[in-house]
Structure formats: C-alpha cells, structure tokens
Amino acid sequence: MSDRIYNFSAGPSMLPLPVLETAAAEMTNYRGSGMSVMEMSHRSKVYLEIFEGVKADLKKVLNVPDTHEILFMQGGATMQFAAIPMNLMGENGSADYAITGNFANNAAKEAKKYGAVHVAASTAEGNHTTIPTQAELDLDPKARYFYYCANNTIFGTEWNYIPETGDVPLCCDMSSNILSKPVDVSKYGILYAGVQKNMAPAGMAVVIIRKDLAGHELPYTPVMLSYKTMIEKDSMYNTPPCYTIYMLGLVLKWVEENGGLTGMEKLREQRSGILYDYLDSSRLFHGIASREARSGMNVTFRTDSKELDTEFVKAAAAAGFSNLAGHRIAGGMRASIYNAMPMEGVEKLRDFMEAFEKAH
C-alpha cells in the first residue's frame, strides 16, 4: 500500500487493493488454466464459469428479481443514452427527463433524436446544486419512460428517494453510486451504470432491465443496442469485454466480504460524513451542493477564491491526494470517494484541509 496514493478521481477511480492483488496473482495463469483471463475464448468452459459466476453474484448482491435480466453492454454509460430511447421510445413517443446535471442533459439530447423529450424537472438555473422533490416533478402520464441520473458526478448531488411515476417505467443512470447502498431493483424498468467508478475497469455498462420492456425497439436500432438481442444472446452476441467482467466479479466478492450493500452504505455515510462535517465547520472551504442534495460519492467544495482553489489542488497533489480539481464545468474541488477509497484516505484529506485552512 505504501507506494499507492489516495486517488480521488471521479472515474476511472480506485479499485480495492485486494482486488488488484488477486488480479495480479492470477494474471498469467488463471487458477491452473495455464492462461490469463485476457487470453481465454469467451465461449470456453473456464470463461463461461467466470461469466455465470459474475452474473450470479451481481444478482445476489443487488437482489435482482427474476423479472429482470442483467446485461453487459459495451460503449460505457453514454451508449445507454441512445439505447434507452431506441428500445423504449417507440414510434412518435415521448419521454420524461429530469435534468439534474451534465450527464442527464446529454442523455436528453441524445433521446431527442428518437422521440420527444419532456423536461419533467431541471435544476440548471441553480447550476445543479439541488435535486427536485417528488412534488416538483412535472410528470406526463403518457410518457414511455421517466429518466433520471441518481448521482450527479460533476455537481456532487444525489437523489435520496426513488421517484414515484405510477405505470411509467423508471430508467436510471446509476454510474456513480451503484453498489454503494441497497437499491430496490424491482422499482426500475432499467437501471444501468458505466462500470469505471464502483464496479470495474472501464469498458462496459451493466444494464438491469425488466424483461417485458425489451422487444419494442425502433426498426433501425443497431443489433448491439437491442436489449432483446442482448437478452437472447446472454450479452454474447459478439465478444464481450471478458476481462472487465472478470474484474467486476472480483469487486463483487470484495463487496460481499465487506458487508454487502448495507456494509457499503455504512462506509459511505462514514466517509462522506467526515468531509461534510468538516466543510460545515470550516471558515475557508464551503460545500457546493445544497444540504438535502449532497452526494455520498462526490463531495464538491470550494473556497471564495479561484486562486486559492488552484493552490489547494496543487498542494494536495504534492501531498499524495490526487485528482481533487472540480470538473471544468463546475469549478472548485471535488473529492470522489467511491467504495474503494480507504477511510484513512478521507481522514487524512480532512486533516490536510484543516492544516491548509490554518495556514491560510
């Protein structure tokens, strides 16, 4: 551990050290197979065992009901911005979007190519520091689906409730908070996540879809984006991102060994609590997100001076806390504290901020 730094990157981000160590130990010869997982045929018995094991573990950890199917799809989270409307919008359809940040906005822009987008809520006016309440959602009962982003990685806000949309299927981007707390999968039509924050190295999205929603795609939908095909072919219409799936399996074992999703939730409350408690008491640093909307994964903050923000990020990097600069469209600082961030990384960052405050 001594040569590793505390990496507060928003993604790709830290992976648990034991996961990296297992991957390293198995790198050239996976459990006596005589080859690396990277070298295996995706149709081989040894690989299919890994693949089925990962799906089973994901089903167990996220408590995925039998009504839903787990898919591994390429193109990251962004590809789902297109896949969801292509599969769910239908001809001349309309969908509700809650615009709570950059990624929800990008998803809405993409959806407009395939149907009508009705903005059910937008927090753009306050520069995305808040989350709409249920009462503030302007829901269209005829919408083909309702779309939201559960955790806004750039702005550091997170929905602390599941929107109630009646019979309109819920679609949710959970890229930056999946596996950080228990979730009632049965409430969702589709939930998905790019894996490079809390799940695995970059290269795919995990998509969990209620099976009856598949099979209604627009006729020109590429075969690789058809949920129906992906379900029928068990995510293996073509060569899947084999190694990324294997790494997800190691991460899931680590999650289980550390208390599952309730364990992850306790840790995330502890981690984010350390930083928010300090921010609330600091006279130099201020949290950016409004209190009720604060993210447990991405803590955004700033001082009153851009120059001081820059100086802080630089000094922190020199002290072994990397990637603390905020996203260019949000400014300030951001500490991304996903599942793999050790508690001492957060404690030491808080101590460093305290010392910086005293010195300024």
Q: How far is the CB of 304 from ligand PLP (least distance, A)?
A: 27
3-state secondary structure of 238: coil
Give whichever of 40 and 297 is closer to ligand PLP, judged by the CB atom: 297
Cβ proximity to ligand PLP, 163 vs 284, nearer residue: 163
**Tokens, residue 167:** 């019979």
Return the number of the residue (11 or 241) whose C-beta is nearest ligand PLP: 11
Closest separation between CB of residue 75 and ligand PLP, Å? 7
**Which residues in this chain contact ligand PLP in the complex, by CB under 6 A?**
11, 76-78, 103, 149, 153, 173, 175-176, 194
> Residue 139 has what DSSP assignment?
-
Task: Find the shortest distance in angstroms from Cβ 176 to ligand PLP.
Answer: 4
**Residue 29 identity (one-letter amino acid):** N
Question: Cβ 276 to ligand PLP, closest distance in Å?
Answer: 20
Least CB distance to ligand PLP at residue 19 (A):
19
| Pick 11 or 345: Cβ nearer ligand PLP | 11
Mapped onto helix, strand or coil, the DSSP state of residue 346 is: helix
Minimum distance from residue 81 beta carbon to ligand PLP (Å):
8
Closest separation in Å from C-beta 282 to ligand PLP: 26
Nearer of residues 77 and 324 to ligand PLP, judged by Cβ: 77
The strand ranges marked E within the chain are: 6-7, 68-73, 94-99, 116-122, 146-149, 151-152, 157-158, 170-173, 190-194, 205-210, 286-287, 298-302, 321-322, 333-336
Report, in Å, the least distance between residue 132 CB and ligand PLP: 17
| Residue 280 neighbours by CB distance under 10 Å | 11
Residue 33 vs 78, nearer CB to ligand PLP:
78
Nearest residue to ligand PLP, scored by beta-carbon proximity: 76
CB–CB of 171/183 below 8 Å? no
Nearest approach, Cβ of 157 to ligand PLP (angstroms)? 11
Considering the complex, state which of residue 62 and residue 154 has its C-beta at the smaller distance from ligand PLP.
154
DSSP for residue 345: H
Q: Are 295 and 272 in contact (CB under 8 A)?
A: yes
Q: Which CB, 155 or 356, lies closer to ligand PLP?
A: 155
Cα–Cα dist 250/72, whole Å: 16
> Between β-strands 116-122 and 151-152, what pairing exists: parallel, antiparallel or unpaired?
unpaired
Cβ-based nearer residue to ligand PLP, 104 or 284: 104
Give residue 76's region: left, alpha or beta (phi > 0; psi -120 to 50).
Answer: left
Q: Which of 310, 314, 323, 312 is nearest to 357 (CA)?
A: 312
| Residue 230 vs residues 72, 74, 233, 275, 285: alpha-carbon distances, Å | 8, 11, 5, 41, 47
